[in-house]
């Protein structure tokens, strides 16, 4: 079926990287000065040589989470060539574009106006291109964007992701905790009861847990994490890629003690070790054994394998708590081991 937005499909080869300059010359005037903020306004931007972008495509462009140099060559090309850059905060994005010598029309797309601004962007995608950015990192990850992507996909349009910085992945990798499997939890609810329910639901997960948190909530959240998950290894990753970047690795209680005496400042990602051993097998808020769905068995096996747990105990435990037989759980363990490049082995 023909797509309602643009051309659909992705049979074309990737366009070459153009050679136009990405940075303004020393002392050059701000290239964005006078550029329109509304996408509907006249286009005063730099004359573009023929665009390498594909009409009808929504480009999801990751931008820096602090260090303005953390932006890919492809992201700069897409931002330079898109008909419109849809931004969470147009002033913030204009400053970033200006730093890189780019002037394009900007349109506002943020949580508060997404219903009213989406139709114009969808219309632009009938014949043109839109680049979507957020204030930092990957759009749609704890940021606006997911709804626009959903609408474009639903309308049969093309979505292309231009990957780049993301605070969760930077923190996870730098934390020193097992990077896989991991579970991105984003921001916990601000309602205390809901937050505790969310944490209770995470308590038996074997994956490394990744949370976003605002500085003024870090102490309360660390307290809740200790209570709900126990005193696990963790890392508080602060101001990543910025001047005062800091990764503090300690048990949750150690992080709590530290931030009780040192006011948390800046942007935070909290990374917490997944459940291990008994906790992974039996923890539920009421202390009753957890019932494991077939779908969760692979994730639990992967977690147990990553933590070096003994195969026999893990297989017996999961067979008892799921609808799978020991033989089936064992087969999955072996399949996972092979997928990870390990030898077939009993323990």
Whether 234 contacts 270, CB under 8 Å: yes
* Least spacing, CB of residue 334 vs ligand SAM, in Å: 36
The CA dihedral of 131, 132, 136, 141, to the nearest 10 degrees, is -140
Contacting residue, 225, 226, 234, 237, with ligand SAM by CB under 6 A: 237
The residue among 30 and 245 lying less far from ligand SAM, judged by its C-beta, is: 245
The residue among 220 and 267 lying less far from ligand SAM, judged by its C-beta, is: 267
Alpha helices in 70-204 (DSSP H): 73-81, 90-99, 114-127, 146-154, 167-175, 192-202
* Least spacing, CB of residue 178 vs ligand SAM, in Å: 20
**Region binding ligand SAM by CB under 6 A among candidate stretches 102-110, 141-149, 256-264, 317-325:** 141-149
**Region binding ligand SAM by CB under 6 A among candidate stretches 15-23, 113-121, 163-171, 175-183:** 163-171
User: Residue 213, interface with ligand SAM (CB under 6 A)?
Assistant: yes
Contacting residue, 76, 141, 185, 324, with ligand SAM by CB under 6 A: 141
User: Residue 87, interface with ligand SAM (CB under 6 A)?
Assistant: no
* Least spacing, CB of residue 134 vs ligand SAM, in Å: 5
Which residues pair with residue 84 across a beta bridge?
130
Determine the 3-state secondary structure of 120 from DSSP: helix
Buried b (16+ CB within 10 A) or exposed e, 230-252: bebbbbbbbbbbeeeeebebeeb
User: Residue 109, interface with ligand SAM (CB under 6 A)?
Assistant: no
DSSP string spanning 205-220?
--SEEEEEE-GGGHHH
Contacting residue, 102, 132, 136, 172, with ligand SAM by CB under 6 A: 136
Percentage helix, strand, coil, to 5, in the chain?
A: 40, 15, 45
* Least spacing, CB of residue 20 vs ligand SAM, in Å: 27
**Edge-first strand listing for the sheet containing 233-238:** 182-187, 208-213, 268-272, 233-238, 246-251
Residues 252-291: x where in contact with ligand SAM by CB under 6 A, - otherwise, as a string: ---------------xxx----------------------
User: Residue 209, interface with ligand SAM (CB under 6 A)?
Assistant: no
The contacts of residue 119 (CB under 8 Å, 6+ apart) are none
Residue that has been written with the tokens 């509304």 in this structure: 38
Q: Running DSSP on this structure, what letter comes out for residue 307? A: T
**Region binding ligand SAM by CB under 6 A among candidate stretches 101-109, 209-217, 255-263, 311-319:** 209-217
CA distance linking residue 168 with residue 269, whole number of Å: 7
Which residues pair with residue 213 across a beta bridge?
268
* Least spacing, CB of residue 145 vs ligand SAM, in Å: 8
**Region binding ligand SAM by CB under 6 A among candidate stretches 8-16, 23-31, 130-138, 190-198:** 130-138
Binding residues for ligand SAM (CB under 6 A) = 65-66, 134, 136-138, 141-143, 166-168, 212-214, 237-242, 267-269
């Amino acid at each position: 079926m023909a797509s309602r937005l643009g051309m659909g499909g992705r049979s074309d080869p990737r366009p070459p990287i153009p050679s136009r300059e990405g940075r303004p010359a020393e002392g050059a005037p701000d290239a964005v000065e006078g550029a329109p903020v509304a996408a509907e306004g006249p286009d005063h931007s730099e004359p573009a040589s023929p665009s390498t972008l594909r009409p009808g495509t929504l480009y999801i462009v990751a931008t820096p989470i602090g260090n303005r140099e953390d932006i890919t060559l492809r992201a700069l090309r897409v931002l330079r060539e898109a008909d419109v850059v849809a931004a969470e905060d147009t002033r913030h994005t204009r400053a970033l574009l200006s730093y890189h010598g780019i002037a394009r029309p900007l349109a506002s797309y943020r949580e508060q106006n997404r219903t009213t601004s989406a139709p114009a962007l969808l219309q632009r995608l009938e014949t043109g291109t839109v680049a979507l950015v957020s204030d930092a990192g990957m759009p749609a990850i704890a940021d606006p964007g997911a709804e626009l992507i959903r609408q474009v996909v639903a309308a049969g349009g093309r979505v292309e992701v231009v990957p780049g910085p993301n605070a969760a992945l930077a923190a996870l990798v730098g934390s020193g905790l097992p990077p896989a499997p991991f579970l991105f939890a984003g921001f916990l609810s601000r309602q205390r009861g809901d937050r505790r329910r969310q944490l209770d639901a995470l308590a038996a997960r074997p994956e490394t847990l990744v949370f976003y948190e605002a500085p003024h909530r870090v102490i309360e959240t660390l307290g809740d994490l200790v209570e709900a998950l126990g005193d696990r290894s963790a890392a508080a990753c602060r101001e990543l890629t910025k001047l005062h970047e800091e990764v503090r690795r300690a048990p949750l209680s150690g992080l709590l003690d530290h931030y009780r005496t040192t006011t948390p400042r800046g942007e935070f990602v909290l990374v917490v070790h997944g459940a291990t051993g008994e906790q992974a097998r039996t923890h539920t808020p009421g202390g009753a054994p957890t019932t494991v769905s077939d779908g969760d068995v692979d994730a639990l096996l992967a977690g147990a394998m990553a933590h070096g747990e003994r195969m026999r105990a893990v297989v017996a435990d999961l067979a008892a708590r799921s609808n799978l037989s020991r033989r089936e759980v064992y087969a999955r363990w072996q399949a996972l081991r092979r997928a990870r490049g390990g030898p077939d082995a009993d323990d």
